[in-house]
Chain A
Amino acid sequence: MALATEPGSTASRRRIQVEARVPRFGRTERFIHWWQAGAFGILLFSGLALWLPALATAINRRLLVKDIHLVASLALLAGLLLAVLVGDRRAMARTAREMDLYDEHDRAYLRHRKLNGQPPRPARFNGGQKLNAAIVSASWVLFGVSGLDLYLGERDHAFRVEGMLFMHDVLTLGMVVIVCGHIWMAALRTATVGALEGMTTGSVSAAYAREHHPRWQAEEQDPPRTGPPPS
């Protein structure tokens, strides 16, 4: 936020330091996140309109809702493919590596225990974020496989695999719970709402980074200056 102090004054220098930002998510990562979030919203609501009797009865247009559901799933795939082809693959690979490796701090975090008498000190991602990423990405794979089988199997029963619809239903419930928790922590829970701007603007405040990700070796950046730099 811009402050009404004279650029170059001692007070503004101090405030600029406090407001240093830490870049957290690049454009590719943010695109992948929001593309998934949008697709998930459309898939969830169209899916619920197919599944919940009250919604199915009220909307009454099974074919249209199925088409929306199908197009949204294809759009999700297309977006992810686009990201892999033209996006920052190095950043994606680095994030994937970070999500894969759990150290003792992550394990302590997940067990809600202290480490050597101290609270665990996460790096760029804490254990919960890593676990969430693993569960969500596996769920997408399962959704895609079961959804494809349901689509093919409707018209041609030779494709049908028993139990796919049930799994698709169970996954839906699981993902609703996970996404509700995710949105609560990112947008509602006071302690963690500082994370949201990481995914909207790309950076978080240095204070947030120091508090929540103390072992994250990221470079602090001063925010863009609106006046001449302090002398």
Chain B
Amino acid sequence: MKPESLLRLYPRDWRERYGEEFLALVEITGLQPADVADVTLAAAREWLKVLMPAGLKFGALYLGCWAWLSFFGYLFPHRAEMPYFLAMLDHVRAASLFLMAALVSRLCDRAFERVGRGAGTAMFRVAGAVSALLMNAAAYLIYLRMPHAILPQPDVVLVIMLGTLAGRTAAAMHALSGPLWTPRPPSIRGLGLSA
């Protein structure tokens, strides 16, 4: 495998920063099969840093999904006769769809930000919000078609989807037209200044 091909696995920002020295290293050391696997995994981790919001570790997101799933699972008494872990498997499969939708949506956002740097960036953020809703809607529709899909709580998922859309749309509107609220000017007394 050519070193240049391996470098393409990394995000563009990473390549721009470290690409030349990475290639210089690999051209001297050569590439063993273990090195190809090592670089592939490292590149995947760099992509995760791109996809995850700043400060939020992938593990925390994963655990948050599991916690939500566990709570969700207890809400269905008609599943009581099934072994718990079998009921959980369905929820794990369903939750993975939402997680994938969130990751893909995040990827779209970052791509939009990159492409739209400068004029039109805010419009791309609105497009990112719409794409988030569409991705989650598609994941939800696939979830409904899965065997053992649980129907009684669609409103919970709908609230989550609408909340995501509302938050993202507010951020886009903020970018388009300025703050949605007017910050209260600081009080002169609070600053300790005399009038």
Pair from one complex: no
Residues of B at the A interface (CB closer than 8 Å) are none
Residues of A at the B interface (CB closer than 8 Å) are none
